[in-house]
Amino acid sequence: MSGTSATNTSTHHTSTIGAIGAPSRRNTELALLVFAVLIPVFAYANVGLAINDQVPAGLLSYGLGLGLLAGVAHLVVRKFAPYADPLMLPLATLLNGLGLVAIWRLDQSKLLQSIGQAGGKATNQLIYTAMGIALFAVVLIFLKDHRTLQRYTYISMAGALVLLLLPLVPGLGAELTYGAKIWIQVGSFTIQPGEFAKIVLAVFFAGYLMVKRDALALASRRFMGLYLPRGRDLGPIIVVWMISILILVFETDLGTSLLFFGMFVIMLYVATERTSWIVFGLLMSGAGAVGVASFEPHVQTRVQAWLNPMHEYTLSRTPGATGVHSEQAMQALWAFGSGGTLGTGWGQGHSELIRFAANSDFIFATFGEELGLAGVMAILLIYGLVVERGVRTALAARDPFGKLLAVGLSGAFALQVFVVAGGVMGLIPLTGMTMPFLAYGGSSVIANWALIGILIRISDTARRPAPAPAPSPDAEMTQVVRPS
C-alpha cells in the first residue's frame, strides 16, 4: 500500500546515555582488609612464640582492635566514598599493622626498656592509629568534594608556614632528636608539625600551580636541550628553595627541607611538563645542601656518618667522644647484613642494639634483619603500590586541581619513604624522618591517615560514574517514518 507509514516509538531504536555501570569494589576492599588484618596477627603470634615460646596474651585484643579500626574505616569508605580505589585502605592497614608488630617486638627488649626506649609503645601506637583513622573518617565525612580545598590556597600557605615555624618558638619547640628542632611540646605531649605541613603545602602548591602553570611553562630560550624559564617565572621556585634552606638552617632538619622542595619540583614538572624544572630543582637542592653542610655541625655529622660509618662508629666508642648518629648508622647496616636474604625470623634479631630511635627512625632496620631482603622488598613493594594508586588517581581525576593534589600527596609519600629507607640503608645521609605507618610516632601515623583519606576522596570523585541525564519528554513522542 503506497503512502503507508510504519511508525515506531524511538524507545526501541534510540538509546539514552545512562550512568556507566562501574562497580564500587567495596567487597573487594573488604576481602583485602581481612588479609591486611590477618597477616599482622599471625606476625604478632610469631614474635611471641619466638621470644617467649608461647602465644602472646594480648593477641586477641590486638587482633580485635586492629580489625575493629579497619572495619570502621571500611564502613566510612563504603558510606561516603563508595567508588574509591579499593587498594589504598587495605595497603595502609597492612603497613600500620606490621608497624605495630615491630614496635611490640622492640617493646620486649630489656636493653631498650633499660634506657626508656621501650615498654608500652605498641599500646600508644594503637591509640595513635585509632586517632589517625578518626581523622581519616572526618576527612571523608566532611570533605564532600576535594575541589573545595582550592578555595583555601593562600590560607594553606600561611598555615604551612605557621606549622613550620612553631618548633622555633621559645618554650614550645623541643630538641628530641639530637639537634633537630622539629617538635613542639605541650605538657607531656609532643607533636611534629612538619608531618601535617606536607599536606597543607600540597594543597597550596596544587592551587597555585593550577593558576600559574601556563606562565611557568613558557620558555624564553633553549640551552643544551633544555627550555630555560623566564627570569620572572623563577620567583616561585626560588622562594620555595629559600624556605627549604631556612628550615635546614634553623631546624637542622635535612629530611623535611628535602621533602618540601622535592614535592614542589614534582608538582611543578607535572603542571608544566618542562624537564628543565627538574634539572633546576636538582641543582638548587644540591647547592643548598652543600652550602648548609659547610657550616652546620649537625648536618656535617650526618654526612660524615654516611661517608664513613665504621670510622665514625669507632670514634663514637672512644671515651669522651660523641657520635650517636654514627653508631646508629653502623648498627643499622649490621642489622641489614645479618638479615641476609630471608632474615633471622620475627623476634630473633638484635636490632635493639641501635638503641635510640630503634622503633621510630630506624625501625626499617628491624624489618631488614628479621625479614631479610625478601621482606624489605615486600615492604617497599607495598609502599610502591600506595604511590602507584595515588598516581593512578591523579590520572583519572577530571579536574586539574585534583590531579596536582593527588600527584603532590603521592610524591610526598614516595619521597618520605625514599629519604628514610635510603638513610637507614646507607644510600643517602640520615634525615631524621619516620617511615610512614611503620615507625612509632603519633604525628606521622595520624598525618598519613589524613593523606590516605584525601587520596581516597579524590579517587572516589574520579571513579564515580556520571549521572544519567534526565530523559527528554520529546524523545518519547518522536516517531520514525519509513517510506513504503
Top mean pLDDT of 264-278, 306-320, 370-384, 455-469 is at: 370-384
Owner of C-alpha cell 592509629: 129
**pTM: predicted TM-score of the whole model, two decimal places:** 0.87
Range ranked top by mean pLDDT from 40-49, 168-177, 190-199, 304-313: 40-49
Q: Choose among 439, 407, 437: nearest CA to 132.
A: 437
Identify the residue with better confidence: 307 or 365: 365
Closest C-alpha among 403, 482, 355, 393 to residue 3: 482
Helix (H) or strand (E) holding 261: helix 254-272
Q: Tell me: the pLDDT tens digits for 57-71?
A: 889 999 999 999 999
- Residue 400 buriedness (CB in 10 A; 0-12 / 13-18 / 19+): middle
Whether 90 contacts 469, CB under 8 Å: no
Q: What are phi and psi of 177, to 5 degrees?
A: -125, 50
Q: Any residues with CB less than 8 A from the CB of 306 and at least 6 apart, and which?
A: 329, 423, 426, 428, 429, 430
Q: Which residues, in sequence order, are bridge partners of residue 183?
A: 174
Gap between the Cα atoms of 179 and 374, Å rounded: 34
Reported as a single tens digit per residue, the pLDDT across 418-433 is 999 998 998 888 877 8
The lowest-confidence range among 28-42, 173-187, 247-261 is 173-187
pLDDT for 9: 41
Going by C-beta distance under 8 Å and a sequence separation of 6 or more, which residues neighbour residue 34?
Answer: none
Residue 128's pLDDT is 94
User: Cα(first)–Cα(last) distance of the chain, in Å?
Assistant: 7
2 has pLDDT over 60:
no
Predicted confidence band at 456 (pLDDT cuts at 50, 70, 90)?
very high
pLDDT at 26 exceeding the cut of 60: yes
Neighbours of 417 (CB within 10 A): 22
- For residue 47, the number of C-alpha atoms closer than 13 Å in the C-beta half-sphere is 27
Report whether pLDDT(436) > 50: yes
Task: List, for residues 66-91, the tens digit of each pLDDT value.
Answer: 999 999 999 999 999 999 999 999 99
Q: How many CB atoms lie within 10 A of CB 125?
A: 24
Q: Which of 128, 131, 106, 105 is nearest to 117 (CA)?
A: 106
